[in-house]
């Protein structure tokens, strides 16, 4: 397995150039979904990293534990870095990206076809219809693009907000505190 290299995330420049190329290039539905999902995944990773202390422990956690989009979404929500509505939006973006990345053809029970997967296929269209961060877009592809644009910008903006939270220097427990703890079973 190849080790992911963690590079400093230059959010404004990297995101702006990636979004310009992605949104205005002549892209297929598949490339829009895969690249768009990857942009959001990278923004989420940058946001999570901005909330972690610098060093090997954090790098190890990002490289070996939070090594997928789904795991990063779950961790960000579990550690209260993102609200439930953003978790749902990110999860929909992940599902759409993964469908385009792993399904070559549309293959649904009522839609057996050899046509390539598109934003107008039933399952993808259903997921896109539930995206909330997409403005007034009616078209599934435009809803996905709008959601990716909005969520990635939110994550980048939040990663720039200073984070004051610090780990305790030590956890000292007095004998009075210990008296109230249950005894270990031996």
pLDDT in tens, 41-88: 999 999 999 888 888 988 888 888 988 999 999 999 999 999 999 999
Q: Please identify, in words, the CATH class of the domain defined by 11-179.
A: mainly alpha
- How far is the C-alpha of 54 from the C-alpha of 2, rounded, in Å? 22
pLDDT in tens, 31-42: 899 989 999 999
pLDDT in tens, 131-159: 998 878 889 999 999 999 899 999 999 98
Taking the complete model, does pTM exceed 0.85, yes or no?
A: no
Q: How confident is residue 15, by pLDDT bands cut at 50, 70 and 90?
A: low
């Amino acid at each position: 397995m190849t080790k992911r290299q963690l590079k400093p995330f230059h959010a404004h420049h990297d995101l702006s150039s990636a979004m310009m190329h992605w949104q205005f290039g002549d892209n297929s539905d598949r490339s829009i979904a895969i690249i768009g999902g990857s942009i959001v995944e990278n923004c989420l990773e940058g946001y999570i990293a901005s909330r972690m202390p610098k060093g090997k422990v954090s790098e190890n956690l990002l490289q070996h534990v939070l090594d997928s989009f789904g795991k990063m979404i779950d961790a960000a929500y579990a550690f209260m870095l993102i609200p439930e509505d953003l978790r749902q939006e990110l999860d929909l973006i992940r599902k759409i990206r993964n469908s385009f990345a792993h399904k070559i053809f549309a293959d649904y029970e009522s839609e057996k076809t050899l046509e390539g997967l598109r934003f107008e296929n039933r399952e993808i269209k259903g997921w896109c219809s539930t995206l909330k961060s997409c403005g007034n877009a009616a078209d599934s592809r435009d809803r996905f693009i709008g959601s990716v644009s909005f969520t990635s910008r939110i994550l980048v903006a939040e990663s720039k907000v200073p984070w004051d939270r610090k780990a305790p220097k030590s956890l000292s427990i007095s004998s009075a505190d210990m008296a109230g703890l249950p005894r270990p079973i031996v």
